Every structure is written in C-alpha cells, then in structure tokens.
Amino acid sequence: MSKELETNLTEEEYLKKHLESLEQNKAVDSVESAPKQQTTVKVEQSKASDLHYFAFDTREFPCGIFYPAGSTIQVRAAQVKEIQAYSMVDDNNFYDIVEKMNDMLSSCVRIKHLDGTIGSYMDLRDPDRYYLIFLIRELTFQKGSVLTTKVNCSCGNETTIELRRKNFKFYETSERINDFFDVATLSFRFEIKTGQVFNLAPPTIGVQKSFTEYIVKENAEKRKPNLSFLKIIPFMLHDRSSITIEGIKAKLDEFQKMDDIPFQFLNSAVEKLTFGIEKLQSQCQCGLEIHTDMIFPNGPSAVFVVHDAFEQFIKE
Ligand SMILES: [Zn+2]
C-alpha cells in the first residue's frame, strides 16, 4: 500500500525522470505518445579503426567514480551521416530524443579498460548521457557554431554562457552519502538495520535502454508500469549493462514482495543519488558567479543541427 502512495508522479512525468530529462526543458514538456516501434541500436565497431577517437579521463565525467580505475572514455566527432540521422529528431517526443541520442552515442563513444578490452556506450552511466552528447558536439564543431544561453547577473548585465564542458556544474552527493561509497564494487553499499545490504549506483545507459523497451511494451499492451519499481530497481542493477524483459518481470515480482523497511529505505536512498549536469555556471564581467538551469537552446535537435543554417550559409 505504501508503495502506491509514494508514486505521486504521473506515468509520463516518471518516464521523463526515468530517462533523465533535463529539468525545466520546455522542449520535452509535452510528450504525447510512445513511438510505435523501437529500433535496435547496434554498436558499430567495424568502422571504428579509420576514425579518430580521443581518450578522456573517466574522472571528468559526472559519473566518473563509477568507472573502473584506468579506464578511458573514447569519443570521436560525428560524421555527416550521423548528423543527418540525428537531425530528424522530434523535439516533442521524448522517446525519440533518447533514441536518437543513443544512436549518436553508439557510433561515437566507447570505453577502453585498463586490460585493453573495449566496452560500448551501454556500459556508460545514464547520467553521463548529456555530457557525452555535448562532448561529441565539441569535437564535431571545433570552429564556431557555439550553443549559448543568456543569464541576467545581479549587476544588471546580461551575460552569455556557452554550453561547453567547462561551464557544466555537476550534481554533488552529500558527504553523508559519500562515506558509503564502496571502491570494490564501484557502488554505494548500504547496510540497513534489518541486516540487509544494498549496493546502489546510477544505472548504465544499457539498463535504462532495457527499461525503456519494457515501458514501451507495457504501454503497448495497455498495462500501467509500476512507477515506484521503475524509480528504484535500475539503481540496484548497478553492475549490469542490460536486462531482458523476463528479467525485469522477475525483479518486479521480487520488488512487490519486499518488506516495508527496505522499500522505504531504498525509496529514500535513490533520491540522494542524483548525478549528471545540474546547471551552467560562468562568471560575469563584474566578477560575480552566474548560473542557470541546464537547457537545450532551440531544443535537443539543435545540438547537431546548425540553427538557421539558411541565413548563415546563403551567399548574397
Ligand atoms: Zn555581473
């Protein structure tokens, strides 16, 4: 019973949260329906050799602490054909935004471990998604084509902030929580008074993708997903890169049989585990620090589509 009481979000609100929507992102406020079909994303590794990847230290990323020591995240610029595919994103359809971003990540991102093995974008943490997208953008448009947003400083000046990595301010977990980080499992390890132990971490992009497919399927079959389950369980699958629909159903069954204390604990704990880009931060000419909410100026499509390219490139 208490489980139902906790789910005061609508299904759509939850989905957006689940898929890590940017808060206050006007562009995705009005998602009407799920797409009728899901496309399967395949990692294109065959062509990777002739494209130049840049290696980035995992510690630069919002979820840096969750990657094995010595790993690097390898990212390359988007090719024209990838930009062409992305340019068809429907800014009003949240599923489509996530899908197109996943396609882009699948082409341009991989993780290289210390032992030389390569993992795909699905092994990366979901709250790193936007950071990765903006990183690909920076590599793709090295000259010009800067995305900006405006902020009013208390001195009266209107200052422009560029959407670049250096201006991204990440969410920070409290010291209270940080004490529970377990280096051996790269997750937070919580032992509760009942004696149960839970390891929690933000889910991988792969797990979120599995859950998205599950939600779409449930919707198509006119079943209402258990929102509380969707909020908590992905964090408990901290060491996985995917889960089957049957696997999710088995987890749902376990979840519904859970006692009240562990449920209450988990529900409260996952709320403390927010990662990703919290806001944009810069300095005004007057010296004051200025910040604003993270947004997509002109919608998510504008990340790789040059705004008003007609006017920019027409020769008169
Ligand atoms: Zn100022």
Top pLDDT among 66 and 306 is at 66
Q: How far is the CA of 288 from the centre of ligand 1 (A)?
A: 5
- Average pLDDT of the segment spanning 222-233: 93
Top pLDDT among 98 and 182 is at 182
Question: Does residue 52 register a pLDDT over 80?
Answer: yes
Number of helices (H), then strands (E), in the chain: 11, 12
Q: Tell me: the pLDDT tens digits for 171-189?
A: 999 999 999 999 999 999 9
Hey, how many other C-beta atoms are within 10 angstroms of the C-beta on 294?
21
Q: How far is the CA of 287 from the centre of ligand 1 (A)?
A: 6
Handedness of CA 137, 142, 147, 148 (dihedral sign): positive
The token pair at 168 is: 């991204």
Q: Give the C-alpha separation, 40 to 134, whole Å.
A: 23
- How much of the chain, in percent, has pLDDT values that exceed 70? 84
Q: Give the C-alpha separation, 6 to 8, whole Å.
A: 6
Distances (CA, A) of 233 to 172, 207, 208: 22, 10, 11
Q: DSSP for 6-68, please give it.
A: H--S-HHHHHHHHTTPPTT-GGGTT-----S-PPPP----TTGGGSPPEEEEGGGSTTGGGSP
Residue 306 has a pLDDT of 81
Q: Give the C-alpha separation, 216 to 230, whole Å.
A: 13
- Assess contact for 17 and 95: CB atoms under 8 A: no
Residue 299 has a pLDDT of 83
Q: How far is the CA of 308 from the centre of ligand 1 (A)?
A: 30
Measured in degrees and rounded to the nearest 5, phi and psi for residue 161 equal -110, 130
Q: Tell me: the pLDDT tens digits for 229-284?
A: 999 999 999 999 999 999 999 999 999 999 999 999 999 999 999 999 999 999 99
Question: Does residue 25 register a pLDDT over 70?
Answer: no
What's this model's pTM, rounded to 2 decimal places?
0.82
Residue 130 has a pLDDT of 93
Q: How far is the CA of 160 from the centre of ligand 1 (A)?
A: 11
Q: How far is the CA of 103 from the centre of ligand 1 (A)?
A: 40
- Assess contact for 236 and 201: CB atoms under 8 A: no
Question: Does residue 164 register a pLDDT over 70?
Answer: yes
Question: Does residue 312 register a pLDDT over 90?
Answer: no
Find where tokens 């903006």 sit.
Answer: 134
Q: How far is the CA of 20 from the centre of ligand 1 (A)?
A: 32
Hey, how many other C-beta atoms are within 10 angstroms of the C-beta on 78?
22
Residue 283 has a pLDDT of 92
The token pair at 208 is: 């979120």
Q: How far is the CA of 62 from the centre of ligand 1 (A)?
A: 28
Question: Does residue 29 register a pLDDT over 60?
Answer: no
Averaged pLDDT score across all residues of the chain: 84
- Assess contact for 100 and 88: CB atoms under 8 A: yes
The token pair at 48 is: 């990777």
pLDDT band of 18, cuts 50, 70, 90 = low
Q: How far is the CA of 78 from the centre of ligand 1 (A)?
A: 36
Spell out a b/e string for 116-151, using b for 16 or more CB atoms within 10 Å of the CB, else e. Answer: eeebbbbbbbbbbbbbbbbbbbbbbbeeeeebebeb
Q: Give the C-alpha separation, 120 to 170, whole Å.
A: 23
Residue 50 has a pLDDT of 52
Question: Does residue 63 register a pLDDT over 70?
Answer: yes
Question: Does residue 47 register a pLDDT over 90?
Answer: no
Helices 245-256 and 205-220 pack at an angle, to 10 degrees, of 80
Strand order in the sheet with 277-283: 168-170, 277-283, 289-293
- Average pLDDT of the segment spanning 277-294: 91
Helix residue ranges, H only, 141-197: 175-178
Q: How far is the CA of 174 from the centre of ligand 1 (A)?
A: 29
Q: How far is the CA of 295 from the centre of ligand 1 (A)?
A: 21
Q: How far is the CA of 290 from the centre of ligand 1 (A)?
A: 8
Q: How far is the CA of 291 from the centre of ligand 1 (A)?
A: 11
- Average pLDDT of the segment spanning 105-119: 95
